Structure 1
Amino acid sequence: MKIALFSTKSYDREYFDRYGQDYPHEITYFDNRLTSQSVPLAEGFRAVCAFVNDSLDAEVIEKLSALGVELLVLRCAGYNHVDLDAAKKAKMAIVRVPAYSPHAVAEHAVALILTLNRKTHKAYNRVREGNFSLDRLDGFDLYQKTIGVIGTGKIGQVFCKIMQGFGCKVLAYDPFPNKELIAQGIVYSSMEELLKTSDIVSLHCPLTPENYHLIQADTLDKMKEGVMIINSSRGALIDTKAIIKALKSRKVGYLGIDVYEQEADFFFQDHSETIITDDTLMRLMSFPNVLITSHQGFFTDEALAQIAITSLENLTAFEKGEFIEENTVLRA
């Protein structure tokens, strides 16, 4: 099958070429993001492979369908950026990679916590400049702190277990409590109780219309003074303007994010020699207690291998007139 792979980076080529040798597919790589302007590149392809910051709104899907594209292969778990109604109308099938490596994202969330708390990024820069002072590098013990985990899917489950290993009390909120976690001592609570009592709040839920801007002025008001907030899920779970206000008032003591509401225009690209025009992003970057990484939580060898393999298996199944049930978002 001929596939157009958009938003290609060097690592995409490396892993898809490595594992693609075992599959009868012809992949053409495009560096371009998939947008309404770049859609014509998909002409002549039966399938399109897209990533989290590709545009998959109604206009793009209609144009892809008009070009004869039958299958949308998401090399990610989330599909909140896809207009499912438009895809259904166009009779376009959608598959994804639901579980490339929950450990990768969960471990990155822990890295954000440890770095923010113990200020290792600042210590690294100081020592390189010959400054061995410990002033303002103090942190706190994670031991016996209360960690609030919102969302206990595969990533949230791994994160809960890791934080238990630090000796933390872990509170969780999820509409569907996990019996295995309960058996291991994880306490499910109401959202209000979690926000009120947690020293650290970590987001591991998908982005849905119901939890858009889950963290906003009202929820921030319920949190402890100096709370740490971690988001390695989706940027729009946080109202960025509200979090900036909370940072300025010191209600939020630490913020670690691997995702950002308007990341599509900046993440996965080198802007070191250009002017960043997003004033909100620049304001966030100006806070000394904010740590931003550019959606790299998934970025491990194991995860990249699984993304490529699962995407290729999805393509093969579709070509045979089959679907891998757990990977399927929408059938044609």
Structure 2
Amino acid sequence: MEILAFGVTADERPLMERAFAGDHEVRCLDVFLSEDTAPIAAGYEVVSTSVNADLNGRVLRTLAAGGTRMIAQRSTGFNNIDLEVAGQLGFTVGRVSYYSPYAVAEFAWTLAMAVNRRIVRASNRTRDFDFRLNGLMGRDLRGRTAGVLGTGKIGEAFTRIAHGFGMNLLGWDVAQNPACVELGMKYVEKDELFAAADLISLHVPLLDSTHHIIDSAALRAMKDDAILVNTSRGGLVDTDALVSELRAGRFSGVGLDVYEAEAGVFFLDKSLDAVEDDTLARLVTFPHVVVTSHQAYYTRDAVEQIITTTVANVRDYLAGRRSENTLVPRL
């Protein structure tokens, strides 16, 4: 069988081809699955997609009409898939329920340290042979307070690093993680965490209950010199509200690897296009804000785990098996 994989980067392609070798052929495309590209999948029983694919009802009906029966999503998140329509159409949908949490946690800390120590500004200056220190002053993190929203596997990995820095630990989640409690984390209500934390990192999934969990009220409750980091999902943060607070001179630094309107922008070269998103255009102008293109997961270790799991999901589908990765089972 030949499998069609959308949204495959140049780095991923050899890993994909190697992982499927001996079982199936895989055709890798760098374009993302959307209403415009869905017809390409005609004749492919199994399609693999990336997190920025758009699997709305119309796309799913196009895939079904073309003979696709299985969708293997190469990500943990699946808010881009209309699971109800997928079930009605008889699709099997699988995802990657787990991969290296250290990839994301370490990148969250990379963003935190980059904005705290003004690394991007310093690098840009030295490229111009400007070696002044004005405006580059950061803060020690030891003894300060880290607030972690979401203490699952990634949140726990982030917390362990914070503990290594010697920080006080505050957490919020629907359930406490004993490993975080063992590290000295105190679980509190969100408002208390927002008010007390010097560094806030987001590690909750995007659900109806967490959409814009960082809204105007949450932002106003935070310290004026707090650092905010989001490596989870863009929709957790009300970006317009964040821009308003930044314009008012608040926050020591903000590191964002995700953006709520990133679909159709992130993972693409838009350098020669007119900027249509005024909010994003304004966001990247702040000198103490670092925006990256949803790359926190992008280590060789994590990507290899994602691809290995994707191969296993395809095997399970062909064998009629379910696993913890099955979102919509085969009818």
TM tier relative to shorter chain: over 0.9
In structure 2, the residue matched to 1:25 is 24
Amino acid at match of 1:88: G
In structure 1, the residue matched to 2:237 is 238
| Range with greater deviation from structure 2 (26-35 or 143-152) | 26-35
Query: What is the correspondence of 1:1-332 to structure 2 with a 5 Å cutoff?
Result: 1-21=1-21, 23-323=22-322, 325-332=323-330
| Residue 135 of structure 1, CA deviation | 1.1
> What secondary structure is seen at the aligned counterpart in 1 of 2:109?
helix
TM-score, normalised to structure 2, is 0.96
| Residue 223 of structure 1, CA deviation | 1.4
- Matches of 1:278 and 1:16 in 2, distance apart? 33
Equivalent residue pairs, number: 330
- Matches of 1:41 and 1:128 in 2, distance apart? 44
> What secondary structure is seen at the aligned counterpart in 1 of 2:258?
coil
RMSD across aligned positions (CA): 1.3
- Matches of 1:32 and 1:42 in 2, distance apart? 12
- Matches of 2:251 and 2:118 in 1, distance apart? 16
Query: 1:247–1:253: 8 Å Cα contact kept in structure 2?
Result: no
- Matches of 2:267 and 2:14 in 1, distance apart? 16
- Matches of 1:109 and 1:170 in 2, distance apart? 16
| Residue 251 of structure 1, CA deviation | 3.0
> What secondary structure is seen at the aligned counterpart in 2 of 1:256?
strand
Query: 2:56–2:80: 8 Å Cα contact kept in structure 1?
Result: yes
| Residue 183 of structure 1, CA deviation | 1.9
| Residue 86 of structure 1, CA deviation | 0.9
Query: 1:243–1:252: 8 Å Cα contact kept in structure 2?
Result: no
- Matches of 2:132 and 2:117 in 1, distance apart? 14
- Matches of 1:184 and 1:329 in 2, distance apart? 33
| Range with greater deviation from structure 2 (265-274 or 148-157) | 265-274
| Residue 238 of structure 1, CA deviation | 0.6
| Residue 208 of structure 1, CA deviation | 0.4
- Matches of 2:147 and 2:75 in 1, distance apart? 25
Query: 1:44–1:68: 8 Å Cα contact kept in structure 2?
Result: yes
Superposition misfits of 4+ residues, deviation over 4 angstroms = none
Q: Which runs of 5+ in 1 are unaligned?
A: none
Query: 2:116–2:252: 8 Å Cα contact kept in structure 1?
Result: no
Query: 2:156–2:179: 8 Å Cα contact kept in structure 1?
Result: no
- Matches of 2:169 and 2:249 in 1, distance apart? 24
| Residue 106 of structure 1, CA deviation | 0.4
TM-score, normalised to structure 1, is 0.96
> What secondary structure is seen at the aligned counterpart in 2 of 1:170?
strand
Q: Which runs of 5+ in 2 are unaligned?
A: none
| Residue 18 of structure 1, CA deviation | 2.2
- Matches of 1:207 and 1:221 in 2, distance apart? 21
- Matches of 1:189 and 1:251 in 2, distance apart? 24
- Matches of 2:134 and 2:236 in 1, distance apart? 34
Amino acid at match of 1:169: N
- Percent identity reads 38
- Matches of 1:261 and 1:181 in 2, distance apart? 29
| Residue 308 of structure 1, CA deviation | 1.3
